Amino acid sequence: MSTRGKITGTVLGAAVAASLTGAALLGPFGGASHGEAASATAGRGDLIIAESKDGIPSATATDWVSYGDQAAVVHVTAEHEGEADSEEIAAGEGYLSRTVDLQVKERVWSRSGATALPATLTIVADGWSFKGDAKTRVGSAEASRLEVGHDYLVSFAHYADGEWATIGTGAILPYDSGEVGQGEYEGSTVTAAAYRAKMRAKLVTGAEEPLAYRASTSAASSVKTFLTSATPDATAAANYNLDAAARAKWVAKAAAAAAAAADTFCKVAAPLATDAGSTYTRGELSDVVSDLAGLTDNFGDKALLIAYAGQLNASADPAAWTSRGAAMVRVERACSIDVGLLPNDVEDAE
C-alpha cells in the first residue's frame, strides 16, 4: 500500500475508534479521494457510516471535467485487506484498510491530454473496523462503498505519485444493469428509483444539480453527454498540467481571492447606497466609480464603470450619463444594495 494509503487508513481507524466512544475526530479519510476529511459515527450493525468531506469537489458535471481525468464504468472483481498498525493490534481494535481491484468495462469520457486509464487498476477504498476477531464494514455517508460484484460509473484522477483514485465520494455512481443509481449505495443494494429520490432530497435551489441526480435512472451515454457539454472551472482548466489535488488547491485560492476582492468592492460601494446619506460632487463620484472599476475582474462591469466615470467627468448634463443605469445594475447585483450613482452635493443640486 502507498504511503498515502497507510496514512489515510491510520487516521480513519482513529476516527472510527473515536466514534465508538462518542468522540469526534477529523482527518483524511481513506475512502476514495485525496485530502478527504471524515468524522466517523456508528451506523447500522453491519456498517459504520463516516461523515465525510471531500478535499476535491466531485458532485457535479463541472467538478468531473474540472478535476477528473477519465470517467469509466468499472466492475469490482476483488478486495484486499490491509494490516492494522502495531498499536491497534496491541489494543485489539482499530481499522483495517482495503483496496479493491477494478476491471474497466466501458470508457465513458476522457479529458483531452489526460493519462490513459488502464484496463484494470487497484485503488484504496473504505475498509473495516475491527474489535477482537469481529470486523465491521466502514463506509462514507451518502456514497457507494465499492463492493465486490457490483458495477459503478466512476470519475478517476491520475495523481502526481502515479496512482489512480476517484476524485471524491460524489464521483462513484452505482451502475448495476447499465442504469445509474441501480446497485450498491452506502453498503446496501438500492433501486435506481430509490437512489434518484435520495438525490432529489439533496438538491439546493440555485446550485448546479449533482450528476448523481441528473443521470439517475439513465445509461452511461447520458453521463457522457453531460460531461461533453460541461464547462470546467477556469482556474482548474488553466492548471490541467497539475494533478486533481493541486488543481483543487488553486481553485480554492482563486475563490478566496475573488471573495476578498468582492468584499473590498462592496466596502467601497457601501457609501453610494441610497440610504447611506453620503454626498458627492461629480468629480468625487467619478473617482469612486473609477475605484470600483479597478476592483472588479469582470470585463463587462469594468468597462461600464469606466465609461460612467468618464461621462461624469465630461458633462454636467445627466442626459450624457448614458452608462449610469447599467452601472447601477452591476453594483446593486454585486453588493445587494440600492444605489443611485448620482452626484448629490449642494452645488450640483442647484
The pLDDT tens digits of the residues spanning 127-137 come to: 999 999 899 99
52 pLDDT band, cuts 50/70/90, is: confident
138 CB-side CA count, 13 A? 36
Mean pLDDT calculated for residue range 79-88: 91
Q: How far is CA 333 from CA 140, 204, 265, 326, in A?
A: 39, 21, 12, 11
84 pLDDT band, cuts 50/70/90, is: confident
89 pLDDT band, cuts 50/70/90, is: confident
In terms of pLDDT, which residue wins out, 28 or 216?
216
- The residues, ordered by sequence, that sit 6+ positions from 324 with a Cβ below 8 Å of its Cβ are 308, 311, 318, 341, 342
Say if CB 171 and CB 32 are below 8 A apart.
yes
Tell me the residue type at 54: D
Mean pLDDT calculated for residue range 320-345: 92
51 pLDDT band, cuts 50/70/90, is: confident
Mean pLDDT calculated for residue range 166-170: 95
Tell me the residue type at 306: I
Tell me the residue type at 235: T
Task: Tell me the pLDDT of the chain averaged across its residues.
Answer: 87
* Three cell numbers, residue 35: 485530502
232 pLDDT band, cuts 50/70/90, is: very high
36 pLDDT band, cuts 50/70/90, is: low
Whole-number pLDDT of residue 344: 82
Whole-number pLDDT of residue 39: 53
Mean pLDDT calculated for residue range 239-265: 94
DSSP state of 115: P
> Is the predicted pLDDT of residue 79 greater than 70, yes or no?
yes
| pLDDT per residue as tens digits for the range 279-306 | 999 999 999 999 999 999 889 999 999 9
State pTM to two decimals: 0.75
Q: How far is CA 46 from CA 134, 138, 152, 186, 296, in A?
A: 11, 9, 22, 11, 53
Three-class SS state of 317: coil
> Is the predicted pLDDT of residue 117 greater than 70, yes or no?
yes
Mean pLDDT calculated for residue range 93-119: 96
> Is the predicted pLDDT of residue 124 greater than 70, yes or no?
yes
